[in-house]
Every structure is written in C-alpha cells, then in structure tokens.
Amino acid sequence: MHRVVHGGAGVHSATSEKEVKAALLGALAASETALDTVQSAIASLEDCGVLNAGRGSNLAFDGTVECDAAIMDGLTRDFGSVGAVSGIKNPISLALTILQHARTPDPLGRIPPMTLVSTGAHSFAASKTPHLLVPPDSLVSPRAKKQWATWKDRLSSAQDAATATDASSPMQDTVGAIVWDETSGNIASGVSSGGILLKYPGRIGEAAVFGAGCWAQTTHGKHRMACSVSGTGEHIIQTNLARRFGAALESEADPDVHAIVQRVLVDDFWLPSQSAGNPDPSAGVILLTTEEDGEGRERGRLWCGFTTPSFAIAYASPRCRPKAHILRRPPSIESRPADHPRVFVTAFPL
C-alpha cells in the first residue's frame, strides 16, 4: 500500500509541528483495501484532537461541532459524503458507509444517496452504524473551545470585527488521505473537516462536495491518480478543484504533472478567486500518480502543491519508510507581491 495523508494547508507554527507530525505518522497504517486504508487513516486524524476534523474541529458560531467528510473509489468512481453532521465520532466512516450502501440495489429501484447532511446523515448513522454516535459535546476539544471563545469575543467588539473575519485563515487544516494498492491496482482518496471557525451552522465546505475536496480515477485501465484538497471551502467548491486535477491529467497522454499542478492551482483556482475579490486564495493538494519506471514496472509519485505558507503531509510505501514534513514555501516565493501567485509545487518518489 502507498499511503499519503495531510493535515491541511495553512499556517503551522513551530510549536505545533511536533504534534502535527506525530498525528500524521500515526495515521499511516495499512488496511485490507485502498478504501479501508483511506477510511482508517482519516479516522485516526479525526481522533487525534490536534487537527480540524472530528474531535478537535473548529467550532461553528453557536459553539457546536459540525463535520464534513467524503471518500471516493478510483476504480468505480463511487463516492460517499456527509455534511454539517453533529454527534458522529468519525464522519469519514459514515461517508464510507454511504458509498457502500449505494452499491446495494434498492428493492423499489430508488436512487441511493451519495451525500447526506445534518439530521438526515445522523439518522442514517443511527440505522446503519450506531457505534459512531457520540454525545456532540464529546467532540469539542479544549483547544477548539478556547479559540472559539477568543474569536467570538473579538467578533462582538466593533473595533476588532474586521480582523475577526480573517480568523479562519490559519485554521483551515482539513485532513485527507490518498492510497494506491499496488496489488489490486485500486486507488482511493478522502477528506474530512470541521470547517472554518465561527461558520454559520449548516454550512458545508469542500469536504462534502463531489469533485471539490477529493478525487480518484483510473483512466484506460492503467493511468491512476488520486488527490485530496485543503483550503477555503467556498473557493474550492466554486472551482471544483479536485476534479480539475483529474480532468487535466486525463486530457494528456503523457502529462507533465508538475506543470499541471502549478497550472491548475494558478489558472483554475488562484486567479479566478482573486478576480472575485479574494485577496489571498488558500488551497493545498496532495496528488498521487502512477508511472512506469525504466523496467516497465508501475511506481507511485507524490505531488504536493499549495498557495499557503505551509502544508503538513506524511507518506509511506513498501519502498519508503514513513516520513512526515511541514512543507513551507521557499523565501523566493514567500516574498512575491500579494497580487502574484505564491504557489509552491514539489514531489516525492514513493
């Protein structure tokens, strides 16, 4: 199994680096299938309490936890997701259950859902996966509650209201995973998030939307890719960002992946978002592609691209021991004017 996880694109302080890396490394265990491994990896990140997913999620304006999550099978392109759901220990597990449920024919021929939100998602969990139900308050971490109280106080002050609207920028650390099972050939991806701090209750972000937060595909039976995206959900949804990477790779017989990641982040995300009035569009992507080596064997390669100051990632494979990094933009990119794309792209063999 080739496993890659991320802890989000944003701003990672030196004081948080150790615990974030530990959480990412702890999520790299392999399971039986690619889908199961994506689910277990993200569930581990949801449970760790230091990232914006599951327990530890940013709190909505009313002080509650509402989570989004999605998972996708790259062989069949089956998809399942949940949005704005409370009281679920592992939203990614519920998303997988929705994906699997859709594979069973309905006796009346009804079209099964691929996305469920709020109370509908909670009711589905109660009937299919009751072990996932937990008291909503159990998902509120001390760190998240402290941040919520701080920014809620600032929002209530007229002189601080303008700065409070930027509270989410360093705290959009959506988590995600991509997995390629070299034995079966399948590839899968997933994403999970508590959303932006002080969001309106009921808001859903890219982690619940088909084609926005994650994508996985197998083209012509051999070209495989999977990606998981982090950043500002509304902007990512508007550009259907994850699916854009898949479409760009699918359109070329011999794609230059580095150039494609750069182009999609700049032309399809950064420029349209800034033209719409968003001064500093935030997004990050982990993207796994397969390629043939000199001996005709299929190998995996990880690509990471982000528009934010930093991006937290970890990876492992049969040929690569587990590694974790807080990737940071080099000074040459960091120093560019605000109206120039500050996008950094790098790659790692797997």
Residues annotated as catalytic are 174
To which residue do tokens 């759901």 refer?
85
Q: No. of H helices and E strands in the chain?
A: 11, 13
Q: Are 88 and 94 in contact (CB under 8 A)?
A: yes
Rg (CA), the chain: 19
Amino acid at 181: D
Q: Alpha-carbon distance 191 to 207, whole Å? A: 6
Q: At 115, which helix (H) or strand (E)?
A: strand 115-117
Q: At 47, which helix (H) or strand (E)?
A: helix 34-47
Give Cα separations from 224 to 115, 177, 280, 298 (angstroms): 24, 15, 31, 10
Tokens of 286: 């982990």
